[in-house]
Amino acid sequence: MKKYELKNLAEPNLMEDIFDYDLAPKITFDGPIIEVIDGEEVRFDPGDVMKRDIVITDTTFRDGQQARRPYSVEQCVTLFKLLSRLSGPRGVIRQSEFFLYSEKDREVVEKCRALGARFPEITGWIRANKGDFKHVKRMELKETGLLTSSSDYHIYNKMKTDRAGAFKKYIEVVEAAVEAEVRPRCHLEDVTRADIGGFVMPFVQKLAEIADQVPEELKPKVRLCDTMGFGISYPGAALPRSVPKLIHLITTEGGIPPERLEWHGHNDFHKAHINAATAWLYGCNAANTTLIGFGERTGNPPLEGAVFEYIALKGSLCGIDTLAITEIAQYLRDECRMDIPANYPFVGLKFNATSAGIHADGLSSDERIYNIFNTGKLLGRPPHVTINDKSGIDGVALWVNNFLGLTGDRKISKIKMAKIGRWVVDQYDKEGRITSISDEEMAEQVKKYFPEQYAKVAGE
Amino acid sequence: MTDSVKTRLIKIVSETLEVPVEEIKPEHRFVEDLDAESIQSIELMAAFEEEFDIEMDEDEAMEVKTVGEAIEFVEKCIREQK
């Protein structure tokens, strides 16, 4: 057994090559991932994502709207504009899909397109009916998603047909799309519950055959839809639930290259985000997401989570305007009446807040101790404290100094906070309070005990 | 250690921690012997600043553990801030 010796240091090793405070912490690998597939060891190089054009795609206006009251046209256009800003010049948010069925659906597409944004590219979503192509053609879209359900649950129990019947119908619609010069994107609904060898692979291989006969811009894409969130990311997991094995089979024996493959997940087992990231690592270029993860039932991989995963994997911002994430969340909260849990990563009102006094003390001396990255720079939201009975004088002091914008030597000493600290303690010990103290209440205390400083901040 | 500072400081400690003046000795530790809670420690420092019209360095003040150390620290502040 290797013996490890204590290495004492004069200066701390903060591992800033990984934990660069101005970026999401980098995800680094020191070797290949090995999967056993059909009895053979297959080596995957996770570092390959640095070279591949991995992208995020968006379904906020399709799947995202299936779980909430619809956005208004104006709301869709505003959100699309913000998505475009977030995406950056390289188009990290590469595509966004839209319903095309109602007049309102089509008005949204027209208005978003009128913005003239290069990214996200607008694509459609229709059922696998040849008649529905008229909508795609009318909107002059270059690509549309088609519902091509793949499990027997859907084929036999929902569509009331058999595999051969479904296969024939899907291929007819794909051929109709190509003929109409619209790129088909086949959504293999419920693929993590499908017979991979008995239906999915024959269908995908047929798509690859069609692809061989058409120009690049019409070659069919495949979206792997983990409709019920059954996908598993662990190496060694078996098909049909294994994300790695699915991706590997489709990109090798299926003949669909990474740039024409997309992963669409659901969060029923809390695996939506990690499955999407896993799909990236194993050779699928596009991860389909929604803003705040809002989507059917438990939702989809959250787009903002995918953005930080992307930055962490690429080790660079890649032109992404992360500040747009905070604006999007604010807009969803204020204008779209969306309830975002306070502790929701990256966008919840308290995602980088601490109530514990001992954490506040750490934050006060070096915010990196209790902040995931420079949230002030990347999200416009520096870490802060919420005050409750566990906050102590350290929490109170940090809250007050943050509120007054005082740093370094200008900070007010904890000793001067005694009266506010006493008020907080009495709220719980004498008044029997069981809720946190709101920012408004704290501001009132600052106004009472530090009126001059308060007046400067409040512009009084 | 001047009587004036000592008397006034012990009176503050007595009032803040609700301990009779005659029971407070210089060697007493605020937390362990006089049962001072966290907020009371800060209130004591704030009261010393007000009573003696001094400004105390926060970090140095937090190092004070006993009544005797507090008296010495306050006297030092008074000398330096005269």
- A89, A145: one domain: yes
pLDDT for A129: 80
For A359, residues 6+ apart whose C-beta sits below 8 A from its C-beta are A370
Closest residue in chain B to residue A412, using alpha carbons only: B58
**CA-based nearest distance A413→chain B, Å:** 6
Encoded tokens for A379: 């999200």
- A377, A312: one domain: no
- A284, A368: one domain: no
**CA-based nearest distance B28→chain A, Å:** 21
> Cα–chain-centroid distance for residue A451?
43
Model confidence over A366-390: pLDDT tens digits?
A: 889 999 999 999 999 988 888 988 8
Determine, yes or no, domain membership for A22: no
Mean pLDDT, chain B, rounded, equals: 94
B38 in contact with chain A, both atoms CB, cutoff 8 A: yes
Amino acid letter at B35?
D
Domains in chain B: boundaries: 3-80
- A318, A360: one domain: no
A395 in contact with chain B, both atoms CB, cutoff 8 A: no
A408 in contact with chain B, both atoms CB, cutoff 8 A: no
Whether B58 and A392 lie within 8 Å, measured CB to CB: no
- Report the C-alpha gap between B68 and A25 in whole angstroms: 49
Nearest Cβ partner for B43 among A392, A413, A418? A418
- A170, A253: one domain: yes
- A396, A321: one domain: no
Determine, yes or no, domain membership for A2: no
Whether A414 and B38 lie within 8 Å, measured CB to CB: no
Whether A415 and B39 lie within 8 Å, measured CB to CB: no
Which residues of chain B are within 8 Å of residue A393 when distances are taken between CB atoms?
Answer: 38-39, 42
Nearest Cβ partner for B58 among A414, A419, A425? A414
**CA-based nearest distance B54→chain A, Å:** 12
DSSP, res A70: P
| A237-259 CB burial, b ≥16 within 10 A, e <16 | eebbbbbbbbbbbbbeebbbbbb
Model confidence over A297-314: pLDDT tens digits?
A: 999 999 999 999 999 999
Nearest Cβ partner for A425 among B39, B46, B58? B39
Please count the other Cβ atoms lying within 10 Å of the Cβ belonging to residue A410.
10
- Identify the CATH class of B3-80: mainly alpha
> Helices A392-404 & B38-52, crossing angle to 10 degrees?
60
Number of domains in chain A: 2
Selected for mutation to probe chain B from A396, A398, A413 (highest B CB count within 10 Å) is A413
Q: What percent of chain B has pLDDT over 90?
A: 93
Angle at A154 between CA A148 and CA A157, to 5 degrees: 145
- Report the C-alpha gap between A47 and A33 in whole angstroms: 10
Selected for mutation to probe chain A from B15, B16, B42, B49 (highest A CB count within 10 Å) is B42
Q: Single out the residue of A107, A65, A60, A123 nearest to residue A86, CA to CA.
A: A60
Q: Single out the residue of A288, A217, A282, A215 nearest to residue A250, CA to CA.
A: A282
Determine, yes or no, domain membership for A432: yes
| A65-98 CB burial, b ≥16 within 10 A, e <16 | beeeeebeeebbbbbbebbbbbbbeebbbbbbbb
A417 in contact with chain B, both atoms CB, cutoff 8 A: yes
**CA-based nearest distance A421→chain B, Å:** 7
pLDDT band at B21 (very low <50, low <70, confident <90, very high): very high
Containing structural domain, residue A440: 353-458
Determine, yes or no, domain membership for A25: no
| A213-230 mean pLDDT | 98
pLDDT for A246: 98
pLDDT at A360 over 80: no
- A327, A363: one domain: no
B79 in contact with chain A, both atoms CB, cutoff 8 A: no
Whether A421 and B45 lie within 8 Å, measured CB to CB: no
- A280, A374: one domain: no
Determine, yes or no, domain membership for A348: no
Closest residue in chain A to residue B56, using alpha carbons only: A415
Selected for mutation to probe chain A from B37, B39, B43 (highest A CB count within 10 Å) is B39
pLDDT for A135: 85
Q: How do strand A221-225 and strand A353-354 relate by DSSP bridges?
A: unpaired
Q: What percent of chain A has pLDDT over 70?
A: 99
A393 in contact with chain B, both atoms CB, cutoff 8 A: yes
CATH of the domain at A111: 3.20.20.70
- A328, A368: one domain: no
**CA-based nearest distance B67→chain A, Å:** 17
CA torsion through residues A16, A21, A23, A25, sign = positive
Cα Rg for chain B, rounded, in angstroms?
A: 11
Q: From start to end of A79-159, where are the E strands?
A: 93-99, 121-126, 143-147
Which residues of chain A are within 8 Å of residue B63 when distances are taken between CB atoms?
Answer: none
**CA-based nearest distance A417→chain B, Å:** 8
pLDDT band at B13 (very low <50, low <70, confident <90, very high): very high
Chain A contacts in chain B segment 43-72 (CB below 8 A): 43, 45-47, 49, 56, 58, 61
Model confidence over A92-148: pLDDT tens digits?
A: 999 999 999 899 999 999 999 999 999 999 999 988 787 788 888 889 999 999 999
Q: Single out the residue of A416, A384, A399 nearest to residue B58, CA to CA.
A: A416
- A158, A106: one domain: yes
